[in-house]
Amino acid sequence: MRENIAILSPDEMQVFELTPSEYESARENEHEVKINGRMYDHATPRFEKGVVILYAKHDEAEDNLLALLEEVVNTATSDTEEVPTELTTFFGLDFITQCSASVSFTLITKERSWLPAEKLQSEQLSIESPPPQA
């Protein structure tokens, strides 16, 4: 949403007046603050007469994501049931994705006497990956 802040009119944003210390404690990073438990994306702060003035927009998507992550973590830490061994094994696997790679090369006339150039140019090398290992 940070990209949209520049095109929003002041009427579409909330205005916060904070002391410098309040601003520093609410500041999450260069473009975000957390005020009253809610995340806001803000434009460049203005410093006037010892007050920090922020034009900000509530970032509902980020709040929802943070709430979901908090719920997942809390559920996982409070769950007393044992994790099925199949899941433990699955999450312990190392996967190497299968991919193919094209190889570019230039042939010198005397090097290709034993194989026609058309055959070499049509070949593709396939790099196969092994199955996951536990």
In a domain, 38, yes or no: yes
Amino acid symbol at 38: R
Residue 62 has pLDDT above 90, yes or no: no
Q: Which pLDDT does position 18 carry in this prediction?
A: 92
In a domain, 28, yes or no: yes
> How far apart, in Å, do the first and last CA atoms of the chain sit?
41
In a domain, 50, yes or no: yes
In a domain, 43, yes or no: yes
User: What pLDDT, in 10s, does the model give residues 113-133?
Assistant: 555 555 555 555 555 666 666
How confident is residue 27, by pLDDT bands cut at 50, 70 and 90? very high
Strands of 36-128 (E only): list them: 38-42, 46-48, 51-58, 99-101, 125-127
In a domain, 73, yes or no: no
Q: Which residue has the higher pLDDT, 28 or 77?
A: 28
Residues 6+ apart with CB under 8 A from 56: 13, 14, 15, 16, 33, 35, 40, 41, 42, 43
In a domain, 25, yes or no: yes
Average pLDDT (81-102) is 74
Q: Which pLDDT does position 131 carry in this prediction?
A: 62
How many domains would you assign to the chain? 1
In a domain, 90, yes or no: no
Q: Which residues constitute the domain of residue 58?
A: 2-63
Alpha-carbon distance 116 to 124, whole Å? 15
Alpha-carbon distance 99 to 126, whole Å? 7
DSSP class of 8: S
Q: Which residue has the higher pLDDT, 49 or 76?
A: 49
Q: Which pLDDT does position 110 carry in this prediction?
A: 55
Residue 74 has pLDDT above 60, yes or no: yes
Residue 100 has pLDDT above 80, yes or no: no
In a domain, 58, yes or no: yes
Q: Which pLDDT does position 129 carry in this prediction?
A: 62
